[in-house]
Amino acid sequence: MSAVDGPRRSQVRETVLVAVLLGLFGLELALVTRGFSSLAPALRATVLLACGLAIGLLPLVAPMLRPTPRPLAIPRAALAACWIGLFLLVSLHSWPALTRAMHRYPLKSALCDIYPQVTVNIRHLLEGGTIYQEHSELNRRVFPGWLPLYWLPFLVTTAIGADHRWLPPVVLGALVLWLGLVDIRRRPPGLPLAIAMVPPLLVPWAIVVRQPVVAGWSVELLIGAYYLLLTWALREKSPILLGIGLGLCLLSRYALAPWTLLLALGFGATGRLRQLLRAAGVTAAMLLVFYGLPFLARDPGILVRSYLSYGKGFEREWARPASDNHLYEGYGLAGWASDHIRGDSARRCHKVQQLHLVTSLVVCALLAPLLVRAARRAGDPYAPALYALKAALAVFYAFIPVPYPRLWVVPAIVSSQVVAAFVLSPQDRRPK
């Protein structure tokens, strides 16, 4: 074997790894946007889980990519122009789908309860009332258990008199565009960067075009924007941005909580406790400003009642007929679990909630040694923590008691950043 055979084989292996990761991302995005709907629900959900785990575990355990000896260079101005042009093209193609979604899924529908509850919360806030208390303004007794940044941003659309539903796609789209331009300015403008920039743009486009109900009746694109900033901060290795991203995500949903322990472990294993403290300080300040002082200080019990309200919502969904709930749409394994648990709907739902908690904690425990090993090998915890986040979320959402299809916006966005981080990893290891 000649001296060049080894590097050539390594280059082929690395190309295959990137191709496999891109293929897995494409398969997951197709599944998230209701592709392969002919598969049995349990099989489809299993494939989606396996795909998500593979996207997270492959870069976590695979050999690190090496810098390309002679990377294909692209003029920075040309790459920026192509990026803006592609963004405008995707936006123009998505605009009619967004408009149709607004008309096809009216807010006054009995099936839509998210935006009406957002409106109630904001009205109570502006009138000086109590947000976190039971009310019957939506024709049934409900406790508004959402965390603050799930609904507070809609103060903006309230102030300008706009339809709330435009805020999530506009925020996510603007963030995708801006982060792409920042990447072009900060990174070598070559083929790896061009490849890495496409997946984050594909996700919102595919969601809007192929699953318009997400834009019509949910705020998931806004939550996706929070996770996009968090995962980009991990790519950028910025403790301050990481703290902001953590704050945004923790103030909107509980899914991130188990992974934060892994993140802290990765920082500790690489001796970067000072960076961890900086990120934690920013996150703690956000939690205090947006939740602790205005809400928890007045009523410390709302955190527990908010969490319990999710359980009641799950039980209501489980009590509906199988043909009219979200358990058998091929996204999560709750339907499969329901078929194998005895008892009434409330008991089965409770058992699946326990299973959800156990699996979320177990997967984090199993990921811990892989994360520590990868972080020590890379010299920092940022990219390994991103990969571990993807794997943890794959399990978290697979066993969630009610697998609403809209929830998979976040895993798809995280996947897009995993692809970007892996493709750009040789550049990120170079001294800045």
Q: What is the pLDDT of residues 331-360, one digit of tens each?
A: 999 989 888 888 888 898 999 999 999 999
Sign of the alpha-carbon dihedral angle for 25, 28, 32, 34:
positive
Q: What is the pLDDT of residue 70?
A: 55
Average pLDDT over residues 124-139: 87
- 41-99 pLDDT, tens digit per residue, is 999 999 999 999 999 999 999 876 666 555 677 899 999 999 999 999 999 999 999 99
Range from 48-52, 132-136, 200-204, 375-379 carrying the lowest mean pLDDT? 132-136
| CA R_g for the chain | 22
Range from 31-35, 139-143, 340-344 carrying the lowest mean pLDDT? 139-143
Where does the pLDDT of residue 5 fall: very low under 50, low under 70, confident under 90, or very high at 90 and above?
low
Average pLDDT over residues 124-138: 88
- DSSP-based three-state secondary structure for 190: strand
Q: What is the pLDDT of residue 49?
A: 97
Q: What is the pLDDT of residue 432?
A: 39
Task: Choose between 250 and 13: higher pLDDT.
Answer: 250
Q: What is the pLDDT of residue 71?
A: 61
- How many residues belong to the chain? 432
Q: What is the pLDDT of residue 94?
A: 94
Q: What is the pLDDT of residue 137?
A: 83
Measured CA to CA, the distance from residue 301 to residue 145 in angstroms comes to 11
- Cα 425 to chain centroid distance, Å, stands at 21
Where does the pLDDT of residue 1 fall: very low under 50, low under 70, confident under 90, or very high at 90 and above?
very low
Res. 12: pLDDT tops 90: no
Measured CA to CA, the distance from residue 166 to residue 219 in angstroms comes to 10
Average pLDDT over residues 235-248: 96
- 159-200 pLDDT, tens digit per residue, is 999 999 999 999 999 999 999 999 999 998 888 999 999 999
The secondary element (H helix, E strand) that includes residue 378 is helix 345-378
> Rounded to 10 degrees, what is the CA torsion of 101, 231, 46, 201?
40
- 192-212 pLDDT, tens digit per residue, is 999 999 999 999 999 999 999
Sign of the alpha-carbon dihedral angle for 311, 204, 111, 115:
positive
Q: What is the pLDDT of residue 108?
A: 72
- 288-305 pLDDT, tens digit per residue, is 999 999 999 998 889 888
Task: Choose between 339 and 324: higher pLDDT.
Answer: 339
Q: What is the pLDDT of residue 356?
A: 94
Q: Which of 171, 173, 137 is nearest to 154 (CA)?
A: 171
Average pLDDT over residues 231-247: 96
Alpha helices in 137-218 (DSSP H): 155-160, 167-186, 191-210, 213-217
Average pLDDT over residues 319-336: 84
Q: What is the mean pLDDT of the chain?
A: 90
